Amino acid sequence: MKILLLNPPYVPEFMRSARWAAVSISGSNWYPIYLAYCTGLLEKYGHKTKLVDGPVDKLSHEDVLKMAKNFSADISVLYISDKSLENDIAIGEKIKELTGSYIAMVGPWCSCVNPDELLKNSEIDAFAIGEFDYTILEFAEGKSENTIDGLVWKNNGKVIHNPPRKPLTSEQINEFPFVTDVYRRHLNIRNYFQAPHLHPFVDLFTGRGCSWGKCTFCLWPHTINKDAPYRVGDINRTIEELEFIKEELPFVKEVFIQDDTLPAWRAGVLSTAIIAANLDITWSCYARPDATYDLETLKLMKKSGCRCLHVGYESSNPQILKNIKKGTTSEIMVKFTEMTHKVGLSNHADFIIGLPGETVETIIATVKWARKLKVNSYQFTRPYPYPGTPFYAWLEKNALLNDGKVNCPHLSTKEIDKWVRWALRKTNLNPRYLLRMLKKPREWKRLIRSARYVLPNVVGK
């Protein structure tokens, strides 16, 4: 079959594939990694595919519809989000009108809402719930709709909910072709930029799911990977893909391990394997600032080529950390950060302003605390409530949602946005921070590019 896999166009700088869909203020964009893995799997089974990233390639609706008509897919798979839902549905319906393609919607939003009304009142054919790779493959292979787990579909106007699909197994994870080869053939790798990464970069999974999975605000553990443990593939497959990147993508400066969070034990396994393979590669990953990381593991990571850890600190306030089930403390986070400094690892620190328990006082205290960490880069954002997360349920229960945006008992949406900009100025534009970064020539290109986007959004507002 011919399958179109589409990240639909929407508004400029829209990041549908991010941990929460939003318009970027830093110029960052995300690979459509889930669509790309599905693309590779379909190709492995002999299907003709076309992977298109509308937002990153700056395609208009007309561009996409012309492409869809020319490709004339049997199945069109659209990765959708709550923020762009009406737009995504309209594009799917128009593709169906032009090509007669079967339209399937995928992504985390599909896994946390009841799609019945949407399916009844649109020309969309189906939703694939949860991890959708094998759901789409089975349909492409000709299985009857009523036999495909994870599919919600229409039968003569009636919406049918098939049994849920079980989480991917390690054996299935090992079956996926290299996602970076999919990027190479379908996407323009140089178009992808994230402020903390060296550019150009690629990303990949070594496993699916989150080893912690309890943070109340986090999208993936409560939607597309709901109730799924952290599952890993054979580390030798990862090493083979890293070798492929070195040979076939020599211009790539950094590999980002996109596992929801890379636990210390897995980081140790990966680092040991990279060293054993004598691979000269620069990589980064998500890491939790908790007590599971020790100095020896961090040293091993550094030795293997790890450059930067993306760390979700969120807040320094003890009660807020408890409210969001972060599973760590400010004291443990400080110790973790000191160890990363000691071994020479960079640290990109993520903070969220507007979580349950937030006040002006907690914001000021967190920013003051964050500056003392002396990390490589700072990210402050407001929380984006996603249906299906405990955080979203808490906001609904307490009537704190304002057109999908967060209000706190003590702070309005507008005030939260103001404090986010203030925090960015106090950290990323702090003279001592800038002086520290000027001493790291490797970071200059990354800093200059991100500054072009960030400065207009935080200065004078």
pLDDT tens digits for range 108-139: 999 888 899 999 999 999 999 999 999 999 99
For residues 358 and 367, what is the distance between their CA atoms, to the nearest angstrom? 13
Write down the pLDDT at residue 46: 99
Write down the pLDDT at residue 15: 82
What fold characterizes domain 194-458? TIM Barrel (3.20.20)
In sequence order, the 6+-apart residues with CB closer than 8 A to the CB of 159 are 115, 116, 119, 120, 152, 153
Count the Cβ atoms, other than its own, within 10 Å of residue 436.
Answer: 14
Cis peptide bond N-terminal to 196, omega within 30: no
For residues 110 and 82, what is the distance between their CA atoms, to the nearest angstrom? 9
What CATH code is assigned to 2-161? Answer: 3.40.50.2300
* 271-293 residue pLDDT tens: 999 999 999 999 999 999 998 99
Q: What are phi and psi of 70, to 5 degrees?
A: -70, -40
What is the length of the chain? 461
Write down the pLDDT at residue 455: 65
Element (H, E) at 44: helix 33-44
* 358-412 residue pLDDT tens: 999 999 999 999 999 989 999 999 998 888 899 999 999 999 988 778 888 889 9
This prediction's pTM: 0.95
Tokens 């079980």 belong to: 166
Q: Which of 38-52, 195-209, 266-280, 426-440 has the lowest mean pLDDT?
A: 426-440
Contact between residue 160 and residue 166 where contact means Cβ atoms under 8 Å apart: no
Domain with CATH 3.40.50.2300 in the chain: 2-161
Domain with CATH 3.20.20.70 in the chain: 194-458
* 160-215 residue pLDDT tens: 999 999 999 999 999 999 999 999 999 999 999 998 899 999 999 999 999 999 99
Write down the pLDDT at residue 456: 66
Q: Which of 351, 286, 288, 353 is nearest to 314 (CA)?
A: 351
Please, what is the end-to-end C-alpha distance for the chain in angstroms? Answer: 51
Q: Determine the 3-state secondary structure of 32 from DSSP.
A: coil
- Ranges of beta strands (E only) in 80-123 are 102-106
Contact between residue 104 and residue 139 where contact means Cβ atoms under 8 Å apart: yes
Q: Which of 8-17, 148-157, 394-403 has the lowest mean pLDDT?
A: 8-17
For residues 247 and 270, what is the distance between their CA atoms, to the nearest angstrom? 19
| Tokens representing residue 170 in the block | 């390690």
Write down the pLDDT at residue 461: 55
CA distances from 46 to 8, 119, 208, 378 (A): 25, 30, 24, 44
